[in-house]
Chains A and B, each alone.
Chain A
Amino acid sequence: MSLTREEVQHIATLCRIALSPEEVDHLSGQLSHILEQFQVLEEVDTQDVTPTSHSVDLNSVMRDDEVTACLDVEHVLANAPRREGDYFKVNVVLEEQHDRPV
Protein backbone atom coordinates (compact mmCIF):
# COMPACT_ATOMS: atom_id res chain seq x y z
CA MET A 1 0.00 0.00 0.00
CA SER A 2 1.56 3.24 -0.96
CA LEU A 3 0.02 6.66 -1.29
CA THR A 4 0.85 8.94 -4.17
CA ARG A 5 1.42 12.64 -3.74
CA GLU A 6 -1.95 13.25 -5.42
CA GLU A 7 -3.71 10.97 -2.95
CA VAL A 8 -2.05 12.75 -0.04
CA GLN A 9 -3.13 16.08 -1.46
CA HIS A 10 -6.67 14.77 -1.88
CA ILE A 11 -6.82 13.64 1.76
CA ALA A 12 -5.44 17.01 2.87
CA THR A 13 -8.22 18.74 0.97
CA LEU A 14 -10.84 16.48 2.57
CA CYS A 15 -9.62 17.41 6.06
CA ARG A 16 -8.85 21.02 5.17
CA ILE A 17 -5.19 21.18 6.02
CA ALA A 18 -2.88 23.13 3.73
CA LEU A 19 0.38 21.24 3.17
CA SER A 20 3.70 22.46 1.84
CA PRO A 21 5.24 20.37 -0.98
CA GLU A 22 7.79 19.07 1.56
CA GLU A 23 4.99 17.99 3.91
CA VAL A 24 3.24 16.18 1.05
CA ASP A 25 6.44 14.27 0.23
CA HIS A 26 7.16 13.44 3.82
CA LEU A 27 3.60 12.34 4.57
CA SER A 28 3.21 10.13 1.53
CA GLY A 29 6.19 8.07 2.73
CA GLN A 30 5.13 8.01 6.37
CA LEU A 31 1.45 7.29 5.78
CA SER A 32 2.33 4.49 3.37
CA HIS A 33 4.61 2.95 5.98
CA ILE A 34 1.86 3.14 8.61
CA LEU A 35 -0.75 1.68 6.26
CA GLU A 36 1.55 -1.27 5.62
CA GLN A 37 1.33 -2.11 9.34
CA PHE A 38 -2.44 -2.30 9.01
CA GLN A 39 -2.25 -5.15 6.51
CA VAL A 40 -1.97 -7.57 9.41
CA LEU A 41 -5.73 -7.14 9.89
CA GLU A 42 -6.39 -8.80 6.54
CA GLU A 43 -5.57 -12.18 8.04
CA VAL A 44 -8.38 -11.87 10.63
CA ASP A 45 -11.62 -13.57 9.70
CA THR A 46 -14.30 -11.01 10.47
CA GLN A 47 -17.16 -12.56 8.56
CA ASP A 48 -20.37 -12.35 10.59
CA VAL A 49 -18.66 -10.21 13.22
CA THR A 50 -20.64 -7.20 14.37
CA PRO A 51 -18.55 -4.03 14.50
CA THR A 52 -17.99 -2.35 17.87
CA SER A 53 -18.21 1.41 17.81
CA HIS A 54 -18.26 1.75 21.56
CA SER A 55 -17.11 -0.43 24.44
CA VAL A 56 -20.17 0.33 26.54
CA ASP A 57 -23.50 -0.69 25.15
CA LEU A 58 -25.47 2.49 24.96
CA ASN A 59 -28.98 3.38 24.12
CA SER A 60 -29.92 6.90 23.23
CA VAL A 61 -29.63 8.88 26.41
CA MET A 62 -32.50 11.28 26.88
CA ARG A 63 -33.04 13.90 29.51
CA ASP A 64 -36.15 15.78 30.50
CA ASP A 65 -36.86 18.77 28.33
CA GLU A 66 -36.13 21.32 31.02
CA VAL A 67 -34.64 24.73 30.62
CA THR A 68 -31.32 24.96 32.46
CA ALA A 69 -28.65 27.61 32.69
CA CYS A 70 -26.11 27.77 29.87
CA LEU A 71 -23.11 29.95 29.09
CA ASP A 72 -23.93 33.58 28.53
CA VAL A 73 -23.04 35.28 25.27
CA GLU A 74 -19.93 37.01 26.63
CA HIS A 75 -18.47 33.70 27.77
CA VAL A 76 -19.32 32.01 24.50
CA LEU A 77 -17.65 34.75 22.50
CA ALA A 78 -14.71 35.26 24.87
CA ASN A 79 -12.34 33.20 22.69
CA ALA A 80 -13.68 34.32 19.32
CA PRO A 81 -10.90 35.29 16.91
CA ARG A 82 -13.26 37.84 15.35
CA ARG A 83 -16.62 39.06 16.54
CA GLU A 84 -19.14 41.64 15.54
CA GLY A 85 -21.72 42.50 18.16
CA ASP A 86 -22.99 39.24 19.60
CA TYR A 87 -21.87 37.18 16.61
CA PHE A 88 -18.83 35.24 15.45
CA LYS A 89 -17.54 37.00 12.37
CA VAL A 90 -16.75 34.71 9.45
CA ASN A 91 -15.64 35.08 5.86
CA VAL A 92 -18.26 34.88 3.15
CA VAL A 93 -19.60 31.32 3.08
CA LEU A 94 -22.07 31.43 0.19
CA GLU A 95 -20.80 33.12 -2.93
CA GLU A 96 -23.34 35.07 -4.91
CA GLN A 97 -24.95 32.85 -7.51
CA HIS A 98 -26.97 34.21 -10.39
CA ASP A 99 -28.04 30.93 -11.91
CA ARG A 100 -29.73 29.77 -8.72
CA PRO A 101 -32.86 27.75 -9.46
CA VAL A 102 -35.99 29.44 -8.20
Chain B
Amino acid sequence: MTALYDLTAHQAHDLLQRGEINSEELTQDCLRRIREVEPQVKAFVTVTEELALEQARTLDREHSFSNGSPLAGIPVQIKDVMCTEGIPTTCSSRMLENFIPPYNATVTERLYANNAVLVGKGNMDEFAMGSSTENSAFYTTRNPWDTERVPGGSSGGSAAAVASGEAIYALGSDTGGSIRQPAALCGIVALKPTYGLVSRYGLIAFASSLDQIGPMTKDVTDAALVLNAIAGHDARDSTSIDIQVPDYTKSLAGDVKGLKIGVPKEYFGKGTQPGVQEALDAAMSVLEGLGAHLEEISLPTTKYALACYYIIAPSECSANLARYDGVKFGHSYLDTDSMWEAMELTRQEGFGPEVKRRIMLGTYALSSGYYDAYYLKAQKVRTLIRRELEEAFQQFDALVTPTSPTVAFRLGERTQDPVQMYLSDICTIPANIAGTPAITVPCGFSEGLPVGLQIMGPMLSEPTLLRLGYAYEQATEWHKHRPQL
Protein backbone atom coordinates (compact mmCIF):
# COMPACT_ATOMS: atom_id res chain seq x y z
CA MET B 1 0.00 0.00 0.00
CA THR B 2 1.09 3.54 -0.72
CA ALA B 3 2.41 5.42 2.29
CA LEU B 4 -0.23 7.80 3.61
CA TYR B 5 1.98 10.82 2.95
CA ASP B 6 2.13 9.89 -0.73
CA LEU B 7 -1.64 10.03 -1.17
CA THR B 8 -3.44 12.74 -3.07
CA ALA B 9 -6.10 14.73 -1.24
CA HIS B 10 -8.93 12.90 -2.99
CA GLN B 11 -7.44 9.50 -2.18
CA ALA B 12 -6.99 10.52 1.45
CA HIS B 13 -10.54 11.84 1.52
CA ASP B 14 -11.84 8.46 0.29
CA LEU B 15 -10.01 6.66 3.10
CA LEU B 16 -11.22 9.17 5.70
CA GLN B 17 -14.74 8.88 4.42
CA ARG B 18 -14.67 5.10 4.63
CA GLY B 19 -13.25 5.30 8.13
CA GLU B 20 -10.10 3.37 7.12
CA ILE B 21 -7.87 6.10 8.50
CA ASN B 22 -8.44 9.13 10.66
CA SER B 23 -7.02 12.61 10.25
CA GLU B 24 -4.55 12.17 13.11
CA GLU B 25 -2.94 9.13 11.45
CA LEU B 26 -2.65 10.97 8.16
CA THR B 27 -1.29 14.09 9.85
CA GLN B 28 1.17 12.05 11.94
CA ASP B 29 2.42 10.40 8.76
CA CYS B 30 3.11 13.77 7.11
CA LEU B 31 4.80 15.01 10.30
CA ARG B 32 6.94 11.85 10.38
CA ARG B 33 7.85 12.43 6.78
CA ILE B 34 8.78 16.02 7.63
CA ARG B 35 11.11 14.82 10.41
CA GLU B 36 12.60 12.26 8.04
CA VAL B 37 13.30 14.37 4.94
CA GLU B 38 13.27 17.98 6.08
CA PRO B 39 16.99 18.00 6.98
CA GLN B 40 17.66 17.33 3.29
CA VAL B 41 14.79 19.19 1.62
CA LYS B 42 14.32 22.28 3.86
CA ALA B 43 10.90 23.07 2.45
CA PHE B 44 9.48 24.70 5.58
CA VAL B 45 10.13 27.93 7.42
CA THR B 46 7.79 26.89 10.25
CA VAL B 47 6.33 23.46 11.05
CA THR B 48 3.09 23.78 13.02
CA GLU B 49 3.08 20.32 14.53
CA GLU B 50 1.05 21.07 17.65
CA LEU B 51 -1.58 23.04 15.79
CA ALA B 52 -1.87 20.33 13.12
CA LEU B 53 -2.34 17.55 15.66
CA GLU B 54 -4.86 19.59 17.60
CA GLN B 55 -6.82 20.36 14.41
CA ALA B 56 -6.71 16.71 13.36
CA ARG B 57 -7.77 15.35 16.76
CA THR B 58 -10.62 17.82 17.02
CA LEU B 59 -11.86 16.80 13.60
CA ASP B 60 -11.59 13.11 14.41
CA ARG B 61 -13.66 13.74 17.51
CA GLU B 62 -16.26 16.11 16.16
CA HIS B 63 -16.38 15.91 12.38
CA SER B 64 -18.00 13.39 10.11
CA PHE B 65 -15.84 12.92 7.02
CA SER B 66 -18.77 11.38 5.15
CA ASN B 67 -20.13 14.84 4.45
CA GLY B 68 -18.57 18.26 4.28
CA SER B 69 -15.47 19.44 2.49
CA PRO B 70 -13.29 16.92 0.64
CA LEU B 71 -10.29 18.78 2.10
CA ALA B 72 -11.34 18.15 5.72
CA GLY B 73 -8.65 16.57 7.85
CA ILE B 74 -6.02 16.76 5.12
CA PRO B 75 -2.58 18.32 5.78
CA VAL B 76 -1.69 21.43 3.79
CA GLN B 77 1.37 23.64 3.68
CA ILE B 78 0.92 27.35 2.94
CA LYS B 79 3.67 29.42 1.35
CA ASP B 80 5.06 31.82 3.92
CA VAL B 81 3.71 34.84 2.06
CA MET B 82 0.09 34.32 3.15
CA CYS B 83 -0.96 35.54 6.57
CA THR B 84 -1.77 32.99 9.24
CA GLU B 85 -3.03 34.52 12.46
CA GLY B 86 -0.77 33.76 15.40
CA ILE B 87 1.71 31.85 13.22
CA PRO B 88 4.89 33.57 11.96
CA THR B 89 4.66 34.74 8.35
CA THR B 90 8.15 35.72 7.24
CA CYS B 91 8.23 35.90 3.43
CA SER B 92 11.61 34.19 4.05
CA SER B 93 12.96 37.64 4.87
CA ARG B 94 14.92 39.04 7.80
CA MET B 95 12.51 41.95 7.53
CA LEU B 96 9.58 39.81 8.69
CA GLU B 97 11.49 37.16 10.64
CA ASN B 98 9.53 37.95 13.82
CA PHE B 99 6.25 39.05 12.25
CA ILE B 100 3.18 37.30 13.61
CA PRO B 101 0.10 38.33 11.63
CA PRO B 102 -2.86 39.56 13.67
CA TYR B 103 -5.28 38.23 11.05
CA ASN B 104 -5.70 35.47 8.48
CA ALA B 105 -5.49 35.84 4.72
CA THR B 106 -8.80 35.09 3.03
CA VAL B 107 -7.34 31.88 1.59
CA THR B 108 -6.24 30.79 5.09
CA GLU B 109 -9.75 31.48 6.39
CA ARG B 110 -11.24 29.50 3.54
CA LEU B 111 -8.98 26.51 4.12
CA TYR B 112 -9.80 26.58 7.83
CA ALA B 113 -13.49 26.77 6.92
CA ASN B 114 -12.89 23.61 4.88
CA ASN B 115 -11.38 21.99 7.99
CA ALA B 116 -7.91 21.78 6.48
CA VAL B 117 -5.03 20.77 8.76
CA LEU B 118 -2.10 23.20 8.60
CA VAL B 119 1.30 21.49 8.90
CA GLY B 120 3.39 24.58 8.29
CA LYS B 121 4.62 27.46 6.16
CA GLY B 122 6.63 27.06 2.98
CA ASN B 123 10.11 28.39 2.34
CA MET B 124 10.40 30.72 -0.66
CA ASP B 125 12.54 33.28 -2.39
CA GLU B 126 12.50 36.39 -0.23
CA PHE B 127 9.26 38.35 -0.85
CA ALA B 128 8.57 35.90 -3.73
CA MET B 129 11.37 37.39 -5.82
CA GLY B 130 13.33 34.63 -7.47
CA SER B 131 13.14 31.38 -9.40
CA SER B 132 15.16 28.97 -7.26
CA THR B 133 14.43 29.57 -3.54
CA GLU B 134 18.11 30.53 -3.25
CA ASN B 135 16.97 34.05 -2.32
CA SER B 136 15.43 32.84 0.94
CA ALA B 137 17.14 34.70 3.78
CA PHE B 138 17.13 31.48 5.81
CA TYR B 139 18.21 28.56 3.62
CA THR B 140 17.76 27.11 0.16
CA THR B 141 15.14 24.44 -0.43
CA ARG B 142 16.43 21.39 -2.30
CA ASN B 143 14.76 19.57 -5.17
CA PRO B 144 13.52 16.20 -3.86
CA TRP B 145 14.46 14.57 -7.19
CA ASP B 146 18.09 15.63 -6.80
CA THR B 147 19.10 17.54 -3.70
CA GLU B 148 22.03 19.14 -5.52
CA ARG B 149 19.49 21.01 -7.63
CA VAL B 150 17.05 23.85 -6.99
CA PRO B 151 13.31 23.20 -6.61
CA GLY B 152 12.54 26.33 -8.64
CA GLY B 153 10.85 29.33 -7.12
CA SER B 154 9.63 31.38 -5.69
CA SER B 155 7.20 28.78 -4.23
CA GLY B 156 10.02 26.21 -4.12
CA GLY B 157 9.33 25.16 -0.54
CA SER B 158 5.72 24.41 -1.37
CA ALA B 159 6.57 22.44 -4.52
CA ALA B 160 9.26 20.42 -2.73
CA ALA B 161 6.99 19.73 0.27
CA VAL B 162 4.22 18.33 -1.94
CA ALA B 163 6.59 16.31 -4.14
CA SER B 164 8.31 14.74 -1.14
CA GLY B 165 5.12 14.03 0.82
CA GLU B 166 5.68 16.52 3.63
CA ALA B 167 2.23 17.91 2.85
CA ILE B 168 -0.60 16.48 0.76
CA TYR B 169 -0.98 19.77 -1.09
CA ALA B 170 0.05 23.41 -0.79
CA LEU B 171 -0.93 26.96 -1.65
CA GLY B 172 1.59 29.02 -3.58
CA SER B 173 1.57 32.45 -5.16
CA ASP B 174 2.46 33.30 -8.74
CA THR B 175 3.60 36.72 -9.97
CA GLY B 176 5.67 35.63 -12.99
CA GLY B 177 5.54 31.84 -12.72
CA SER B 178 6.23 31.30 -9.03
CA ILE B 179 3.87 28.36 -8.60
CA ARG B 180 4.10 26.86 -12.09
CA GLN B 181 7.88 26.84 -12.57
CA PRO B 182 8.69 25.12 -9.23
CA ALA B 183 5.77 22.71 -9.74
CA ALA B 184 7.25 21.74 -13.11
CA LEU B 185 10.75 21.37 -11.67
CA CYS B 186 9.45 19.19 -8.81
CA GLY B 187 7.04 17.11 -10.93
CA ILE B 188 3.70 18.24 -9.53
CA VAL B 189 0.57 20.04 -10.75
CA ALA B 190 -0.06 23.76 -10.21
CA LEU B 191 -2.71 26.15 -11.42
CA LYS B 192 -2.36 29.90 -11.65
CA PRO B 193 -5.94 31.14 -11.73
CA THR B 194 -7.30 34.10 -13.65
CA TYR B 195 -6.26 37.36 -12.00
CA GLY B 196 -8.95 38.23 -9.47
CA LEU B 197 -10.43 34.74 -9.11
CA VAL B 198 -8.75 34.15 -5.74
CA SER B 199 -8.66 36.90 -3.13
CA ARG B 200 -5.28 38.47 -2.43
CA TYR B 201 -6.38 39.79 0.98
CA GLY B 202 -3.64 38.81 3.41
CA LEU B 203 -1.21 37.85 0.65
CA ILE B 204 1.88 39.95 1.31
CA ALA B 205 2.10 42.09 -1.81
CA PHE B 206 4.93 41.86 -4.33
CA ALA B 207 3.49 43.17 -7.62
CA SER B 208 -0.20 43.73 -7.10
CA SER B 209 -1.35 43.75 -10.72
CA LEU B 210 0.30 40.35 -11.29
CA ASP B 211 0.12 38.40 -7.99
CA GLN B 212 -2.28 35.49 -7.80
CA ILE B 213 -2.65 32.57 -5.36
CA GLY B 214 -3.13 29.03 -6.63
CA PRO B 215 -3.11 25.32 -5.74
CA MET B 216 0.00 23.12 -5.87
CA THR B 217 -1.06 19.49 -5.86
CA LYS B 218 -0.13 15.94 -6.82
CA ASP B 219 -2.76 15.69 -9.53
CA VAL B 220 -5.36 17.66 -11.48
CA THR B 221 -8.30 16.40 -9.40
CA ASP B 222 -6.72 17.90 -6.29
CA ALA B 223 -6.13 21.19 -8.12
CA ALA B 224 -9.86 21.37 -8.86
CA LEU B 225 -10.78 20.55 -5.24
CA VAL B 226 -8.46 23.19 -3.84
CA LEU B 227 -9.59 25.79 -6.38
CA ASN B 228 -13.19 25.11 -5.32
CA ALA B 229 -12.19 25.95 -1.76
CA ILE B 230 -10.29 29.18 -2.43
CA ALA B 231 -11.94 30.81 -5.48
CA GLY B 232 -14.64 33.40 -5.17
CA HIS B 233 -15.42 37.03 -4.55
CA ASP B 234 -14.05 38.76 -1.48
CA ALA B 235 -15.14 42.28 -0.57
CA ARG B 236 -11.76 42.85 1.12
CA ASP B 237 -9.91 42.61 -2.21
CA SER B 238 -11.15 45.29 -4.59
CA THR B 239 -9.63 43.44 -7.56
CA SER B 240 -11.57 40.29 -6.75
CA ILE B 241 -13.91 39.28 -9.59
CA ASP B 242 -17.57 39.09 -8.62
CA ILE B 243 -18.81 36.00 -10.46
CA GLN B 244 -20.60 32.80 -9.65
CA VAL B 245 -17.76 30.29 -9.28
CA PRO B 246 -18.49 26.94 -10.95
CA ASP B 247 -17.83 23.54 -9.35
CA TYR B 248 -14.43 22.84 -10.89
CA THR B 249 -14.64 19.10 -10.24
CA LYS B 250 -17.34 19.00 -12.94
CA SER B 251 -14.54 19.70 -15.43
CA LEU B 252 -12.82 16.43 -14.56
CA ALA B 253 -14.72 14.48 -17.15
CA GLY B 254 -15.60 14.55 -20.75
CA ASP B 255 -13.24 14.31 -23.64
CA VAL B 256 -11.09 16.86 -25.38
CA LYS B 257 -12.01 15.81 -28.92
CA GLY B 258 -12.12 18.72 -31.28
CA LEU B 259 -10.55 21.22 -28.89
CA LYS B 260 -8.31 23.57 -30.80
CA ILE B 261 -4.89 24.00 -29.27
CA GLY B 262 -2.26 26.45 -30.45
CA VAL B 263 1.44 25.70 -30.17
CA PRO B 264 3.20 29.08 -30.05
CA LYS B 265 6.63 28.54 -31.60
CA GLU B 266 8.23 31.41 -29.65
CA TYR B 267 7.89 29.37 -26.45
CA PHE B 268 10.10 26.68 -27.93
CA GLY B 269 13.13 28.89 -28.44
CA LYS B 270 16.81 28.12 -28.52
CA GLY B 271 16.96 28.06 -24.72
CA THR B 272 14.72 24.98 -24.64
CA GLN B 273 16.69 21.89 -23.61
CA PRO B 274 16.43 18.95 -26.05
CA GLY B 275 15.07 16.71 -23.28
CA VAL B 276 12.33 19.21 -22.51
CA GLN B 277 11.49 19.49 -26.22
CA GLU B 278 11.22 15.68 -26.50
CA ALA B 279 8.91 15.45 -23.50
CA LEU B 280 6.75 18.24 -24.93
CA ASP B 281 6.61 16.58 -28.37
CA ALA B 282 5.45 13.35 -26.76
CA ALA B 283 2.86 15.20 -24.66
CA MET B 284 1.48 16.95 -27.72
CA SER B 285 1.15 13.59 -29.49
CA VAL B 286 -0.86 12.33 -26.52
CA LEU B 287 -3.20 15.31 -26.77
CA GLU B 288 -3.60 14.71 -30.51
CA GLY B 289 -4.26 11.06 -29.80
CA LEU B 290 -7.07 12.17 -27.51
CA GLY B 291 -8.63 14.01 -30.43
CA ALA B 292 -7.43 17.56 -29.78
CA HIS B 293 -6.44 19.53 -32.85
CA LEU B 294 -2.95 21.06 -32.54
CA GLU B 295 -1.61 23.78 -34.76
CA GLU B 296 1.58 25.81 -34.68
CA ILE B 297 1.09 29.54 -34.32
CA SER B 298 3.28 32.59 -33.88
CA LEU B 299 3.02 35.11 -31.04
CA PRO B 300 5.77 37.56 -31.94
CA THR B 301 5.35 39.86 -28.93
CA THR B 302 6.41 36.99 -26.65
CA LYS B 303 10.02 38.08 -26.97
CA TYR B 304 9.19 41.34 -25.18
CA ALA B 305 7.39 39.75 -22.24
CA LEU B 306 10.47 39.25 -20.07
CA ALA B 307 11.65 42.87 -20.34
CA CYS B 308 8.09 44.11 -19.88
CA TYR B 309 7.71 42.02 -16.73
CA TYR B 310 11.05 42.98 -15.25
CA ILE B 311 10.07 46.63 -15.48
CA ILE B 312 6.48 46.34 -14.24
CA ALA B 313 7.05 43.86 -11.38
CA PRO B 314 9.98 45.75 -9.80
CA SER B 315 8.12 49.06 -10.22
CA GLU B 316 5.13 47.72 -8.33
CA CYS B 317 7.41 46.06 -5.78
CA SER B 318 9.26 49.30 -5.09
CA ALA B 319 5.94 50.90 -4.17
CA ASN B 320 4.60 47.91 -2.20
CA LEU B 321 7.77 47.42 -0.19
CA ALA B 322 7.89 51.08 0.81
CA ARG B 323 5.78 50.01 3.80
CA TYR B 324 8.77 48.37 5.48
CA ASP B 325 9.92 51.44 7.35
CA GLY B 326 10.67 49.88 10.73
CA VAL B 327 7.80 51.70 12.43
CA LYS B 328 4.67 49.56 12.38
CA PHE B 329 5.99 46.01 12.18
CA GLY B 330 8.98 44.05 10.98
CA HIS B 331 12.68 44.62 11.45
CA SER B 332 13.60 48.00 12.90
CA TYR B 333 16.95 49.71 13.34
CA LEU B 334 16.61 51.43 16.70
CA ASP B 335 20.07 52.75 17.43
CA THR B 336 19.58 56.29 16.10
CA ASP B 337 17.40 59.34 16.67
CA SER B 338 17.27 60.23 13.00
CA MET B 339 14.11 59.18 11.19
CA TRP B 340 15.75 58.87 7.78
CA GLU B 341 18.80 57.03 9.07
CA ALA B 342 16.57 54.59 10.97
CA MET B 343 14.57 53.90 7.83
CA GLU B 344 17.59 53.48 5.57
CA LEU B 345 19.40 51.16 7.96
CA THR B 346 16.23 49.17 8.68
CA ARG B 347 15.91 48.51 4.95
CA GLN B 348 19.60 47.82 4.43
CA GLU B 349 19.60 45.19 7.17
CA GLY B 350 16.13 43.76 6.52
CA PHE B 351 16.24 43.18 2.76
CA GLY B 352 18.43 40.69 0.92
CA PRO B 353 20.35 41.40 -2.32
CA GLU B 354 17.64 40.45 -4.85
CA VAL B 355 14.95 42.45 -3.06
CA LYS B 356 17.22 45.49 -2.95
CA ARG B 357 18.04 45.00 -6.62
CA ARG B 358 14.36 44.96 -7.58
CA ILE B 359 13.39 47.90 -5.39
CA MET B 360 16.26 49.87 -6.92
CA LEU B 361 15.29 48.83 -10.45
CA GLY B 362 11.65 49.75 -9.89
CA THR B 363 12.51 53.05 -8.24
CA TYR B 364 14.68 53.90 -11.22
CA ALA B 365 11.96 52.94 -13.73
CA LEU B 366 9.46 55.14 -11.92
CA SER B 367 11.79 58.05 -11.29
CA SER B 368 11.49 61.43 -12.89
CA GLY B 369 12.97 61.45 -16.39
CA TYR B 370 12.80 57.67 -16.85
CA TYR B 371 9.12 56.96 -16.22
CA ASP B 372 8.07 57.27 -19.87
CA ALA B 373 11.01 55.33 -21.25
CA TYR B 374 10.60 52.39 -18.90
CA TYR B 375 7.38 52.11 -16.93
CA LEU B 376 4.97 53.66 -19.40
CA LYS B 377 6.65 51.87 -22.30
CA ALA B 378 6.34 48.55 -20.47
CA GLN B 379 2.66 49.17 -19.77
CA LYS B 380 2.05 49.81 -23.45
CA VAL B 381 3.91 46.65 -24.41
CA ARG B 382 1.77 44.89 -21.83
CA THR B 383 -1.29 45.97 -23.81
CA LEU B 384 0.18 44.47 -26.98
CA ILE B 385 1.09 41.15 -25.33
CA ARG B 386 -2.34 40.91 -23.79
CA ARG B 387 -4.06 41.78 -27.07
CA GLU B 388 -2.04 39.19 -28.96
CA LEU B 389 -3.02 36.49 -26.49
CA GLU B 390 -6.68 37.57 -26.64
CA GLU B 391 -6.58 37.26 -30.41
CA ALA B 392 -4.98 33.82 -30.19
CA PHE B 393 -7.73 32.72 -27.84
CA GLN B 394 -10.36 33.74 -30.38
CA GLN B 395 -9.00 30.97 -32.59
CA PHE B 396 -7.85 28.47 -29.99
CA ASP B 397 -9.33 27.00 -26.83
CA ALA B 398 -5.90 26.76 -25.27
CA LEU B 399 -2.17 27.00 -25.92
CA VAL B 400 0.46 24.45 -24.91
CA THR B 401 4.07 25.32 -24.09
CA PRO B 402 6.85 24.10 -21.85
CA THR B 403 6.41 25.44 -18.30
CA SER B 404 10.16 25.91 -18.00
CA PRO B 405 12.66 25.75 -20.87
CA THR B 406 14.97 23.66 -18.68
CA VAL B 407 14.77 21.02 -15.99
CA ALA B 408 15.88 21.91 -12.45
CA PHE B 409 19.30 23.57 -12.53
CA ARG B 410 22.14 23.07 -10.08
CA LEU B 411 22.38 25.06 -6.86
CA GLY B 412 24.43 28.18 -7.45
CA GLU B 413 24.33 27.82 -11.24
CA ARG B 414 22.42 31.06 -11.87
CA THR B 415 22.97 33.09 -8.70
CA GLN B 416 25.80 35.19 -10.08
CA ASP B 417 23.85 36.48 -13.07
CA PRO B 418 20.38 37.89 -12.34
CA VAL B 419 19.50 37.95 -16.04
CA GLN B 420 20.14 34.18 -16.37
CA MET B 421 17.88 33.63 -13.39
CA TYR B 422 15.17 35.85 -14.89
CA LEU B 423 15.16 33.69 -18.04
CA SER B 424 13.75 30.81 -15.96
CA ASP B 425 10.35 32.51 -16.13
CA ILE B 426 10.28 33.11 -19.86
CA CYS B 427 7.36 30.74 -20.57
CA THR B 428 5.28 31.60 -17.52
CA ILE B 429 5.40 35.41 -17.49
CA PRO B 430 2.95 36.13 -20.36
CA ALA B 431 -0.01 34.66 -18.42
CA ASN B 432 0.66 37.05 -15.54
CA ILE B 433 1.00 39.99 -17.89
CA ALA B 434 -2.34 39.15 -19.50
CA GLY B 435 -4.02 38.06 -16.25
CA THR B 436 -5.00 34.76 -17.85
CA PRO B 437 -4.95 31.32 -16.19
CA ALA B 438 -2.46 28.53 -16.84
CA ILE B 439 -1.92 25.04 -15.48
CA THR B 440 1.22 22.91 -15.40
CA VAL B 441 1.10 19.12 -15.35
CA PRO B 442 4.01 16.65 -15.21
CA CYS B 443 4.76 15.37 -18.72
CA GLY B 444 7.91 13.30 -18.46
CA PHE B 445 11.52 13.29 -17.39
CA SER B 446 14.81 14.47 -18.82
CA GLU B 447 18.09 13.51 -17.15
CA GLY B 448 15.91 11.92 -14.44
CA LEU B 449 14.31 15.27 -13.64
CA PRO B 450 10.65 16.22 -14.13
CA VAL B 451 9.39 18.24 -17.10
CA GLY B 452 6.18 20.28 -17.02
CA LEU B 453 3.58 20.88 -19.72
CA GLN B 454 1.95 24.30 -19.48
CA ILE B 455 -1.58 24.79 -20.78
CA MET B 456 -2.70 28.41 -21.07
CA GLY B 457 -6.23 29.61 -21.66
CA PRO B 458 -8.29 32.81 -21.90
CA MET B 459 -9.78 34.62 -18.89
CA LEU B 460 -11.81 32.31 -16.63
CA SER B 461 -11.05 29.22 -18.72
CA GLU B 462 -10.10 27.18 -15.64
CA PRO B 463 -12.74 24.54 -16.53
CA THR B 464 -11.11 23.99 -19.95
CA LEU B 465 -7.60 23.88 -18.48
CA LEU B 466 -8.65 21.36 -15.84
CA ARG B 467 -10.46 19.27 -18.44
CA LEU B 468 -7.40 19.19 -20.70
CA GLY B 469 -5.03 18.57 -17.82
CA TYR B 470 -7.22 15.80 -16.49
CA ALA B 471 -7.60 14.12 -19.87
CA TYR B 472 -3.84 14.23 -20.36
CA GLU B 473 -3.25 12.88 -16.86
CA GLN B 474 -5.67 9.99 -17.41
CA ALA B 475 -3.73 9.03 -20.53
CA THR B 476 -0.32 9.11 -18.85
CA GLU B 477 1.39 7.94 -15.67
CA TRP B 478 3.77 10.83 -15.00
CA HIS B 479 1.81 12.21 -12.07
CA LYS B 480 2.21 8.90 -10.24
CA HIS B 481 6.00 9.12 -10.03
CA ARG B 482 7.43 10.09 -6.65
CA PRO B 483 11.01 11.07 -5.85
CA GLN B 484 13.15 8.64 -3.85
CA LEU B 485 14.58 10.39 -0.82
Contact = CB atoms under 8 A, between A and B. Distances in A.
B328 A88 contact: yes
A98 interface: no
Contact of B344 (A17, A40, A82): A17
Nearest to A58: B239
Contacts of B382: 51-52
B330 interface: yes
Nearest to A74: B102
Interface of A: 3, 8, 11-12, 14-20, 23, 27, 30-31, 33-35, 37-38, 40-41, 44, 46, 49-56, 58, 61, 63, 71, 75-76, 78-82, 88, 90-93
A82 B332 contact: yes
B102 A18 contact: no
Given A54-B239, A78-B100, A78-B102, A14 B367 contact: yes
A16 B329 CA distance: 17
B384 A54 contact: no
Contacts of A93: 339
Given A17-B344, A88-B328, A75 B367 contact: no
A25 to B, nearest CB: 13
A55 B102 contact: no
A51 B376 contact: yes
Contacts of A33: 418-419
A82 B436 CA distance: 43
Interface in B277-332: 301, 303-304, 306-308, 310-311, 318, 322, 325-332
A3 B419 CA distance: 17
Contacts of A41: 304, 307-308, 311, 377-378, 381
A56 B348 contact: no
A18 B348 contact: yes
A31 B379 contact: no
B359 interface: yes
Contacts of B326: 81
9 contacts: A16-B340, A27-B360, A41-B307, A46-B380, A49-B383, A52-B380, A55-B434, A56-B435, A79-B100
